[in-house]
Structure 1
Amino acid sequence: MTTESKPLGGRIALVAGATRGAGRAIAVQLGTAGATVYVTGRTTRTKVSEVGRTTETIEETAELVTAAGGEGIAVPTDHLEVAQVRALVERIDEERGRLDILVNDIWGGEHLLVPAFGKKIWETDLDSGLRMLELGVKTHVITSSVALPLLVRHPGGLVVEVTDGTAEYNTRFRENFFYDLAKNAPIRMAYALAHDLKEAGGTAVAVTPGWLRSEQMLDHFGVTEANWRDATEKLPDFAVAESPVYIGRAVAALAADPERARWNGQSLSSGQLAKEYGFTDADGSRPDAWGFIIASENGKPDVADYR
């Protein structure tokens, strides 16, 4: 194996929230680049989280990481439970003695957003709204607080806050009060963490996929990754959607970039990073969903110009 083919060989990563979607793809692409990847989540082969999906598990994610060329290690973890997160980080320290990459991709709140979509704060079930904030904000705070002492032990660490929307786009209201807070918070977290990590030679960024063809999204439209374009009959704009591989390659490219500190504190998108680093989606295209979405506010752009 060469450093060119395995640029993350010897690196230790933690992808928090890697059961499915962006988190799984990020873990697999880090593994493709040679990293050892600890993957966490609440759905295992013997236990199902509140999301209610049984088709994806963290054990399967770990196996995919290993098959891709890295080493995947599944650790069931509820990131709202501080003791569980501490045990996770202590295990990484005992087994590897370092942490080079932390990806905060914890969410699992789509089932809460659907009934809240378009509702005002007083129309939204308060318990559901607060649960969104727990899942999308509190989990990230706990994980960073507990894991960063290990990450800063060696210079050059990378923290990636995965969210929905760029800082530019999220100046717009995001569907619901609680969801708006949950998806803007990681952008500000990356900005604040960049300040804390700078002296330790670390980098923190927020990264968003575009219109993600996650397992849940494909199920919603009644399609698979093989025939996803059929969904454009229901919603033509879905033609600009991207597979989870795209954001996975984005994070892997960031992690392998020795000059990544130039991004410190910034909000980045998969499409933006594809232009910078030259990677493509799984089908060889280079979608720019956020560019398309913003352009759509002022007309009807051609999807071909953003794919």
Structure 2
Amino acid sequence: MAETKVALVTGASRGAGAGIARGFGELGYTVYVTGRTITPGDARGWDGTVLPGTVAETAAKVTELGGKGIPVMCDHGDDEQVAALFKQIEEEQGQLDVLVNNAAYIHHQLIEKKPFWEKELDAAKILDVGLRSAYVASWHAAKMMVKQGSGVIAF
């Protein structure tokens, strides 16, 4: 196994994921930064305001802090994109030391104070990108980690 450690942080365009990715950068890790935001201004909050952050911006900060940031646009609700991501990591690095499952789908009605049955069914996507996507990513990561005899999966 190489001396440089490799991490994958899902949902790292902004927020906690971006902070976690930067932390790995400070430790000198190669960090795969995933998310759906690749163009500044594309992501919008519930009220329509522009959300900061892109996968490229986070990856650049990882590199600036001493690691190597690699941005990858990935919709973690799409199993084929996730499989391609792990194939890329395997081919480029040959290892994965840490997976941080952070990707999530947050529907605007999840915080509304009303019964769930009065909310849009689309709010259930939190189960697809959150719970299910973490399981899928962990499934791929475990295959690599068992083969190399080490690794950590965090949520």
TM-score (normalised: structure 2): 0.87
Counterpart in 2 of 1:96? Answer: 93
Partners of 1:152 and 1:99 lie apart in 2 by 10
Counterpart in 2 of 1:63? Answer: 60
Match of 2:119 among 121, 124, 134: 124
Q: How does 1:67-78 map to 2 (within 5 A)?
A: 67-78=64-75
Partners of 1:27 and 1:84 lie apart in 2 by 20
Q: How does 1:1-307 map to 2 (within 5 A)?
A: 10-45=4-39, 48-49=42-43, 53-109=50-106, 111-114=108-111, 117-128=112-123, 130-161=124-155
User: Structure 1 residue 119: deviation in Å?
Assistant: 2.0
The amino acid that maps onto 1:124 is: K
The amino acid that maps onto 1:109 is: I
User: Structure 1 residue 110: deviation in Å?
Assistant: 5.4
Partners of 1:14 and 1:32 lie apart in 2 by 15
Unaligned ranges ≥5, structure 1 = 1-8, 162-307
Unaligned ranges ≥5, structure 2 = none
The amino acid that maps onto 2:133 is: T
User: Structure 1 residue 25: deviation in Å?
Assistant: 0.4
Identity of paired residues, percent? 41
8 Å CA contact 2:11–2:33 kept in 1: the answer is yes
8 Å CA contact 2:14–2:52 kept in 1: the answer is no
8 Å CA contact 2:77–2:128 kept in 1: the answer is yes
After superposition, the Cα gap between the structure-2 partners of 1:59 and 1:11, relative to the gap in structure 1 and judged at 3 Å, is same
8 Å CA contact 2:26–2:66 kept in 1: the answer is yes
TM-score (normalised: structure 1): 0.46
